[in-house]
Chains A and B, each alone.
Chain A
């Protein structure tokens, strides 16, 4: 009699298709597959880049050819064939001078499906958005309002042309071209992304936001984000990601660099919902991302991430605490279900005196997924009185998933104080029954328990993102207790 069992729930979950799994038919201008120096040159030319940029890319490409894919992460997957990927795909109908009214109606329809109608965003959310569809930034809103404060927020391709002095100075200054295999690849072929500069002493009046989305089949997306907060400034930056469902794996290798000068503060929040593959583990996005921030004196960088998507995630947003008294924070929720694999965490590199870092990581595993936290806390020899607090909690749902923690601590200074706490728990039948007995159905009970578990991190997200993140957690985990 209306007995909605876990089995029913499971069936519902399995038949539920990825909510954002539609494909928009836009005429695209796509490069032939494969990567070589000519492709890099052609890409750079296509984007009308100056000579120095082309050279910078080639340098990265040459370094990349000498590197091998990293294998130390606790993930298993078929390695991408880098010669089978097209490195440039842009929606064809693009015109730099057009207004929002001229935007391809199909693109607009796609935004609508994503729930990010630009008009709505403009009016209601007080969020300036730079939307990246495949590789080219199609619409940047709020530019004017920002310009009045001297804030630059534009596609990086535009910044390369309009603000070469800034880009030249900071691009690759935190994540060098040769940093790692994927960062080198990105440096060679990044097609677009966002650039943001906050002038001295300016508090950015709104949340800046980029919405990434992979559309074209077989294309890799390599965005490059560079955020520079000049002395005493403040900015909060949001990044959201989705991709259509496809059988083949898509590659996403982004690089994000943050620079917080003296007394500046950057909050960087991500809600990542790339297609995770279907319930048999077919398809899904490979998310190999390098994110790193540099803190000068008294500066602060906070990374907050909610990772619910991607077939494979390899991501360690890090802070280099170079300046004295600088602060690094990392708040993360990583959810894996079905056959998803996530190896994610952070690096806190303490170089300056009195530097402080906090790491709160919440891993939630369900289905047959594997969820790993990997973190490094490094205290340099001159980092007097450095402090770190790390807390890694894992929540397991069912008996077929795994949670792993790999904390690394390296201290070269005896005044350092490092604390690490870790817990692993399981959603128990008794917890669910307790909620049921109070009138709360199983699905809602799980959402409640998961939200409670993730609360410390959810609280760090800007309001409008927190609501979305909570919904995502519910969608990702529906029916996965067993």
Chain B
């Protein structure tokens, strides 16, 4: 699904990623953990194609295709989805309208007709039920005045609507209380399948109690310094990141 080879990236003059290698197969969930400033969010932004970051070396492949030079919307059309740590507000644009635009742009790029309104409505109904979202919520302006939990739930709702091949959840647990965390995690679990892959970026182990990863990677100083199974997350929780820092 996703293959990252020797990825180096910087923002302004600062090197942040210094040779990332990562293989994610369809059906897998990978967790990327690491202390603040280790490059976790940079990695998600670079995979999504944020042009504020400059890729200086290495490549990103999605299903064998090198997407390193693709514009962010092209990556989205190919099935990359990023759940933002800080979703932005777009006043006056309802969640429904935003989703309709996004879905139809992707369909257009993939040579499909616009989705008929009845199909769209049906999909909205199904996905909002799946994620326990009140449909009134969908006519509100995108993220405007949303609570932290609502914003994150809205991100997962968009993920459900867009049905990506690769979903990256960037600190989806930050700012969530335990109930919201459970709802969001349940949503993600319901969307998991043999055909898609999920990368969970998180600082803490607690989200991984709900979204159980197949692999855990520790990012430090722009490199993956340790990889393992889900038990690695517990080890980290117990020993703290100083353990990693002292080893590197």
Contact = CB atoms under 8 A, between A and B. Distances in A.
B90 A449 contact: yes
Contacts of A434: 84, 87-88, 90
B92 A428 contact: no
Interface stretch (B102-110, B125-133, B211-219): B102-110
A334 to B, nearest CB: 17
A453 B91 contact: yes
Nearest to B74: A2
Contacts of B75: 437
A442 B52 CA distance: 15
Contacts of A439: 73, 76-77, 102-103, 105-106, 109, 162
Interface stretch (B30-38, B64-72, B112-120, B223-231): B64-72
A425 B74 CA distance: 28
A110 to B, nearest CB: 34
A2 B71 contact: yes
Contact of A449 (B80, B87, B93, B102): B93
B52 A429 contact: yes
A440 interface: yes
B243 interface: no
Contacts of A50: none
Given A444-B101, A448-B98, A436 B72 contact: yes
Given A429-B52, A437-B82, A451 B72 contact: no
A455 interface: yes
A440 B91 contact: no
Given A431-B88, A434-B88, A441 B141 contact: no
B158 interface: yes
A441 B88 contact: no
Contacts of B48: 437
B50 interface: yes
B76 A437 contact: yes
Contacts of A428: 88
Interface in A431-468: 431, 433-442, 444, 448-449, 451-456
A430 interface: yes
Contacts of A441: 71, 73, 105
A3 B68 CA distance: 11
Contacts of B90: 431, 434-435, 448-449, 452
Given A439-B73, A440-B102, A430 B92 contact: no
Given A444-B101, A448-B98, A448-B101, A438 B162 contact: yes
A4 interface: yes
A294 to B, nearest CB: 33
Interface residues of A, number: 28
Interface in A259-284: none
Nearest to B68: A1
A455 B76 contact: no
Contact of A436 (B69, B73, B141, B162): B73
Contact of A448 (B49, B77, B93, B162): B93
Nearest to B87: A434
Nearest to A4: B71
Contacts of A440: 73, 101-102, 105
A438 B88 contact: no
Given A439-B76, A448-B90, A452-B90, A433 B69 contact: no
Contacts of B106: 439
B96 to A, nearest CB: 12
Contact of B69 (A1, A4, A452, A454): A1
Contacts of A429: 52
A436 B76 contact: yes
A440 B91 CA distance: 17
Nearest to A441: B73
B88 A430 contact: yes
A467 to B, nearest CB: 15
A434 B89 CA distance: 10
Given A2-B74, A452-B93, 18 more contacts: A3-B70, A428-B88, A430-B88, A434-B84, A434-B88, A436-B71, A436-B72, A437-B80, A437-B84, A438-B98, A438-B102, A439-B73, A440-B105, A442-B73, A444-B101, A448-B90, A451-B92, A454-B92
- The 4 nearest A-B residue pairs measured at CB: A452-B92, A452-B93, A439-B76, A436-B72
30 contacts: A1-B69, A2-B71, A2-B74, A3-B69, A425-B91, A430-B88, A431-B89, A431-B90, A433-B51, A434-B90, A436-B76, A437-B48, A437-B49, A437-B72, A437-B84, A438-B76, A438-B162, A439-B77, A439-B105, A439-B106, A439-B162, A441-B71, A442-B73, A448-B90, A448-B98, A449-B90, A451-B92, A452-B90, A452-B93, A452-B141
Interface of A: 1-4, 425, 428-431, 433-442, 444, 448-449, 451-456
